A and B are shown apart, each in its own frame.
Chain A
Amino acid sequence: MTAAAGGDDWRGAKGMFAVLASPPVLWLAVFFLAPLAIVWAYSFGENRSLTEIAVTGSLGEYARAVKPLYLAIIGKSLWLAGLTTLICLVVGFPVAVAITFADARQKAWLLLLVMLPFWTNLLIRTYALMAVLRTEGYINWTLALAWNGVGAVIALPAFRPLDLLHNNFAVVFGLVYVQLPFMILPLYSALDRLDRSLIEASLDLGAGHLATFVRVVVPLALPGIVSGVIVTFIPSLGAYLTPDLLGGTSSQMIANIIERQFKSANDWPFGAALSFLLMYLTFAAIAAQAMLGRKKVRAA
């Protein structure tokens, strides 16, 4: 009697089922779903006094969240996250291709190469970039060196260091830096599953490499590409540390505003509303991906 594929019926071993199920379910309910539920409730409430919050069921806080001031910030966050995702896609795709077509030994090393930064602390990675982008940072230092080197030959005005830190550029730079491995892995996984003979067949029939990629590789690897996009976009959208350390006053993202509501402004309902707006956007993106996946299955 071999067990069924999806598992045995729970009634077959009630005792064991209870023991296995109770702790995770309880923990999930009490220490995960409950906190989220409370915040969700608050998003429909308002501040009554310094310590009291009344859940009124009104959408007042959500309405505040879509006022021009905050809408602009939400828009900016979507824009920065989108830009980051696009750059990661463009930079990461050739890397994924290179890894897919490497021989077995090189593949292992290349994957390690891509994964290693992912294992280091986010705070540290972001801090490292500060040293790179500062006015006296490495990029400016190298540029100054080059500029002054040329200036020894031709007369040039004094070197003005580039403003690379505490602005949108730095935030996108930082987000790409952090998210790139998240984009490369799903891309690689999808490309690796592709049947090589399909690429050879396309070449054999007269298509160039670019045409082959556009007409054969991309359509078949699309689920993986969508996966990579989602896995890059969502964390970028909800990023806190990167805009906090690398961004300026004009590069605040949703997470920074949320933090302020809870830590300094003490406006929890508003923070809750913003928080859940972010959640809704996240779920929307995931739902879009799931629908795309199901559509492909039905079309096939």
Chain B
Amino acid sequence: MRSAPGPLEYLRRWQLRMWLIAVALFLYLPLATLIVFSFNDSKRTILWKGFTLDWYAKLFADTDLLAAFGNSLTIALLSTLISTVLGTLTALLLWRFRFPGKPLFEGALALPIVVPEICLGVAFLVFFNTVLRWPSELPWPLNLGAITIAHVSFSFSFVALVVRARLASFDRNLEDAARDLGAGEWAIVRDIVLPHLRPGLIAGALLAFTLSLDDFVITFFTSGPDTVTFPVKVYAMVRFSVTPEVNAASTLLIVLTVGLTALALRMQGTDLVKTQAAA
């Protein structure tokens, strides 16, 4: 037999429960219907006409879309590699050293996270058309270089953030013990610090991967007709021809990114909660 709710047990009051349910419906119904209707045997209407996998079949037959997805994947992989390396170096640098201009550097690192995407997109478009002309006739995958560079630039700060959170839990006494036993600076990093960092590195890498895969605005400004990525292609489809094929593509993308992020979360555990709390 349950007692009446205590004064601070707000979640047990029906008003808050109703509100939560309403917000949950608001957030999830559009996505849920999108997924459900990717299986709808009808082109246009929102009425259910039967289950079908036709749209997925069409999706996999659409060479343009597949090529775009291939581009996205390639860019994401390259970008993740470079971002993770840069982000880890940055995190190690900030954690290990004190140097003149450190606050300035940290401020600069915050910029990719804070600056509106459109400003970044515009900056990269200008850059790759003036200072560093990136010829679009380059063979694949080199022609994806501009987009990749742009992706690295805005995602390595995020990786640095994630890795720094993991570094915060590192016990420096271990380092001293290693030094006491004769290890040099690099040996310490390789043998003691990096193993501790592993979950953070994986989480950071997954974060960089999803950021790259999902990005639209910056990619929109740095891609050309020969270097179309998946979100850009889907955008064109949404703007001009809405078919449930888009639903199918969206569903797959949702599953992919949610799956990857869940994996990253699992790897990072409590570090991620602390990072978001601090943000």
A and B touch in the complex (CB under 8 A): yes
The chain A residues found within 8 Å of chain B, CB to CB, are 1-4, 6-10, 13, 15-17, 19-21, 23-25, 27-28, 31-36, 38-39, 42, 91, 94-95, 97-98, 101-102, 106, 110-111, 113-114, 116-117, 119-125, 127-132, 136-138, 141, 177, 180, 185-186, 189, 192, 196, 199-200, 203, 209, 231, 234-235, 237-238, 240-241, 245, 254-255, 258-259, 262, 268, 271-272, 275-276, 278-279, 282, 286
**B181 interfacial by beta-carbon distance below 8 Å:** no
CA–CA, A268 and B123, complex, Å? 11
**B53 interfacial by beta-carbon distance below 8 Å:** no
Instruction: Report yes or no: A141 in contact with B246, Cβ–Cβ below 8 A.
Output: no
Q: How far is the CB of A30 from chain B (nearest CB, A)?
A: 9
Residues of chain B lying within 8 A (CB to CB) of residue A38: 123, 126-127, 130-131
Contact with A along B108-145 (1 / 0, CB 8 A): 11011011111110111111001100000000000000
Residues of chain B lying within 8 A (CB to CB) of residue A95: 19-20, 23
Instruction: Report yes or no: B118 in contact with A255, Cβ–Cβ below 8 A.
Output: yes
Instruction: Report yes or no: B116 in contact with A101, Cβ–Cβ below 8 A.
Output: no
The chain B residues found within 8 Å of chain A, CB to CB, are 7-11, 16-17, 19-20, 23-24, 26-31, 33-34, 37, 45-46, 85-86, 89-90, 92-99, 105, 108-109, 111-112, 114-120, 122-127, 130-131, 149-150, 152-153, 156, 160, 172-173, 175-176, 185-186, 189, 210, 214, 216-217, 221, 231, 234-235, 238-239, 242, 246, 250, 253-254, 257-258, 261, 273, 276-277, 279
Nearest chain-A residue to B124 (Cβ)? A35
Beyond A91-B23, A255-B116, whether A24 also contacts B231 by CB under 8 A is no
| Other-chain residue from B19, B94, B108, B123 in contact with A7 (beta carbon distance below 8 A) | B94
Beyond A31-B152, A124-B250, whether A189 also contacts B277 by CB under 8 A is yes
Name A's interface SS: helix
Instruction: Report yes or no: A101 in contact with B119, Cβ–Cβ below 8 A.
Output: no
| Other-chain residue from A13, A117, A192 in contact with B27 (beta carbon distance below 8 A) | A117
Instruction: Report yes or no: B118 in contact with A278, Cβ–Cβ below 8 A.
Output: yes
Residues of chain B lying within 8 A (CB to CB) of residue A278: 116, 118-119
Nearest chain-A residue to B45 (Cβ)? A136
Instruction: Report yes or no: B149 in contact with A132, Cβ–Cβ below 8 A.
Output: no
Instruction: Report yes or no: B276 in contact with A130, Cβ–Cβ below 8 A.
Output: no
CA–CA, A286 and B107, complex, Å? 12
Instruction: Report yes or no: B238 in contact with A127, Cβ–Cβ below 8 A.
Output: yes
Beyond A262-B125, A278-B118, whether A141 also contacts B46 by CB under 8 A is yes
Interface centre among A31, A141, A272 (most CB of B within 10 A): A31
Instruction: Report yes or no: B30 in contact with A120, Cβ–Cβ below 8 A.
Output: no
Instruction: Report yes or no: A240 in contact with B217, Cβ–Cβ below 8 A.
Output: yes
10 residue pairs, one from A and one from B, having the closest CB atoms:
A238-B116, A35-B127, A35-B123, A128-B30, A10-B99, A189-B277, A20-B93, A7-B98, A255-B118, A124-B250
- For the A-B complex with A23-B86, A131-B34, A185-B277 known, give 6 more contacts whose Cβ atoms are closer than 8 Å: A17-B99, A123-B216, A128-B250, A272-B122, A282-B114, A282-B116
Residues of chain A lying within 8 A (CB to CB) of residue B116: 234-235, 237-238, 255, 278-279, 282
Q: How far is the CB of A123 from chain B (nearest CB, A)?
A: 5
Instruction: Report yes or no: A17 in contact with B97, Cβ–Cβ below 8 A.
Output: yes
